[in-house]
Chain A
C-alpha cells in the first residue's frame, strides 16, 4: 500500500520544497494552518451571534416568549411546540453528525492512499450535506407556514439568524466538498498530496460542531 501510494505521487523534489526561500515542509502545511486560522475567525463570528442570542434571551423572560396570547388562541402553536427537538430536526442532526464521520473516513482513506474509499466517502458526505440543507429548508417552510418569521420578535430574529448563518456555512461546506469530490474523481489527490482534503474536513467538522451547539441551545436548553 505504501509503495503504491508513493508511486502514485509525483512529489520527488516537487512541491514547495525546492523553491528557493520557501521553507515549508516542517510541521503543519500552509493551507491547513490557513484553514485553522480561518476557522478561528469563524468561531469568533459565531461567538458574536451566540453572545447576542444569550443577551436577548436573558432580556426576554419567559423564553421562548408566549406567542399565542393569554389564554392561548385555538390552533396556535407555541414556539416551544414548533421547535420540538424530537421531530424532523433530530433526523437532520443525526445526518449532519454522520456526515462528519464519513468525512473523516474519507481523510483516513486518502492518507492510506485508498482513492476509491476516499471518493466514496466524500460522495456520501456531500450527499448527506445536501440532505441536511434540504431538510432545513423544509423545516423553514413549516415554520413560515405557522407564521414564525425573522420579523416575529426577538425569538424569530435570533432563531433565523443563528440557523441561517449556520445553513449558509453548510452550503459553503457543500460547495467545498463538491470541489473536493470533483478533484478526487479527476485523481488529483494522493497519500502525500491532499492538503485540500484535510482543510475541508476541518471546516466540515467545525460546521458540525456549531450545529451541535445550536441544536443544544435552541432546541434543548
Chain B
C-alpha cells in the first residue's frame, strides 16, 4: 500500500551540523532552538535586571550616568523578558512536546514553524539595536504608554522606540503563526484514539493559549501599528491635543497584554500538571475539571483587561473588578487539582517536582496579591507602586519561570538522552527560591510604603534596607543560573543515559526513544485513556497490539534513524 511506498520519503536525508540546524523543519530541533534562543535573551535581560537592582541598592545614582539610561534598562529588560523569553520559550516547549504528546510526526506546517522561530532572533536583535541609536533604546517602559512613547516634546524622539515597535510587530506575527500551527496540529494531527478528552493537560493548555494568542495578539499589533503611524507618518490616534486619546492605547494594549499574562502562565500550568502526577505516582486529580478551568481562564481572560486602568477613571470599575475576582475561581480550582494530586501520593522529590512545588507556592502568593489589587480602593492606593512589581514577578517569575525549569529538568532527558545532575539542580533551586523571595517579597513592603516603580533614585530613608535586600536577592537569582548552565554543560557530555522513559511518565512521548527519531514514533501504543503509556505498561489495554515497553535503545539511536518506520 501507499504506506510502504511513501515511507522512505519520511526519513529525511541526514545533513550534518550547523547546516542541519539552520535549515531544519523538525519540530523537535525548532523547539530546542526556541529554548536556546529564548534562554540567551533571558540571560541578556537578566543582566539588565541585575544592573537595575545594582542601581537601586543604595540611594543616589550608582552605575548609570543619568536616569534616561536607567529607563532604557528597565524598559528593555521587561520587553525582552516578556516577548523574547517567557512567551517564546513556552511556545518552544509546546513545539517540542505537543506533536510527541498527541502522537503526530511533526507540526501541521513545518516550514511556517521554522518561519515563526526565525522571526524571534530577528525581532530580538532589532530591539537590542536600539541601544546603538542616537536617542538610545525604548525607554517608555514595556507598556510604552503615549504620550511618553509618542512624537512631540514629552516623548521618545529617537528611533529606539520605533525599533521597539517593529520588533514587537515581528514577534507578535511569529506568535500568531505559531498559534495557528498549534491549533491545526492539535485539531487535525492527533493519533487514532487520541480524542480531545484524552489529550495530556499540557496540550490542552497549549490549545487555550493558542486561542488567546490568535485572538489577542492581532489587536496588540493594531495598537503598535497605530503608534508607529502616529510617530512616523503624522497620525493623531493617541495625541490628545490633536483629537486623539491616550487612553485608547491603554485599552487596545491591555486587551492583548492581559490575556498575554495567561499566555505566559497557562503552558507552565500544563507543565506542572504533567510533572505532579508523575512524581506523585497518581493520576491528575480532576482531569476534566482542570480542562474546564483552563478554558474558563481563557474565556474570562478577555474580560478583565481594564483592571490595569482603574486609575484612569475611564473604565467601568465594578464590572472589571468583579470579573477579575471571578478569574481567581478557575485558578483556585487548579490549585485544588494540584494539591489533591500530591495528597497521599508517593512523592519522590526529584528536581522537576521541587520546581513544581516552587511554582505552586510562589504562584499562590502571586495570585493572592493579585486579588488584593483587583479590589478597586486597594488598587487606587497601590497602582504603579512596587507592589505591582512584586505581584507581576510572583506570577511571571514565581509562576512561569519555576514552571519552566520544572519543564527543563523534566524534558531534558527526552530531548538529549541524558539526565541532568540532581545535586546541581537542587542547588539551583535553593539559590533561586531564596533569592527570588529576598528580591520580590520586600517589594510588597516598598509598595505599601509608597515607593513608585520605574524610578532610578529615591530619597525616603525607610526604603533603603528593603531595596538593599532586594538587590542582594537579585544577585542570588543571577548566581542560581551558574549551576544550571554548568549542569547543562556537563550533563550533555557525561550525564547519566536517560533511557526511553526516565520518569515513568504517562503521555505518549514516553513511547519513543530519547531523543526521538526525526519522525517521532516507530509505533504507537493503543490509546484508550489519557494515560496511554501507563495503560500499556500495566497491561490495561485489552488486546495489546504493540509491545508494552517502547523499543529499547539497545539498537542505538543512529540505528533507529537508519532503519526508519517501515523496517
Contacts and interface: CB of A to CB of B under 8 A. Distances in A.
Interface stretch (A43-51, A73-81, A138-146, A182-190): A43-51
A47 to B, nearest CB: 6
Interface string B522-535: 00100000000000
Contact of A21 (B109, B214, B226, B519): B519
Contact of B191 (A21, A28, A153): A21
Given A37-B180, A48-B218, A59-B245, 10 more contacts: A17-B2, A18-B5, A28-B188, A41-B218, A48-B219, A55-B248, A149-B234, A154-B243, A157-B244, A161-B226
B190 interface: yes
A34 interface: yes
A69 interface: no
A204 to B, nearest CB: 19
A151 B217 contact: no
Interface in A26-49: 27-28, 30, 33-34, 37-38, 40-49
Contacts of B251: 51, 55
Nearest to B219: A48
A91 interface: no
Given A13-B5, A23-B190, A47 B234 contact: no
Given A33-B184, A41-B214, A52 B226 contact: yes
A56 B237 contact: yes
Contacts of B243: 56, 59-60, 65, 153-154
Contact of B222 (A19, A45, A149): A45
A22 B189 contact: yes
A139 to B, nearest CB: 18
Nearest to A42: B218
B214 A19 contact: no
Given A18-B6, A23-B192, A56 B219 contact: no
Interface in B167-217: 176, 179-181, 183-184, 187-192, 214-217
A88 interface: no
Contacts of B236: 151, 153-154, 157
Contact of B1 (A13, A28, A56, A165): A13
Summarize B's interface: helix, strand, loop or mixed.
helix
Interface string B1-14: 11101110010000
Given A30-B188, A157-B235, A161-B235, A18 B219 contact: no
Contact of A33 (B103, B179, B187, B219): B187
Given A48-B218, A59-B243, A20 B189 contact: no
A116 B93 CA distance: 47
A65 B179 CA distance: 41
B2 A44 contact: no
B297 to A, nearest CB: 19
A48 B252 contact: yes
A150 interface: yes
Given A21-B520, A21-B521, A48 B248 contact: no
Contacts of A18: 1-3, 5-6
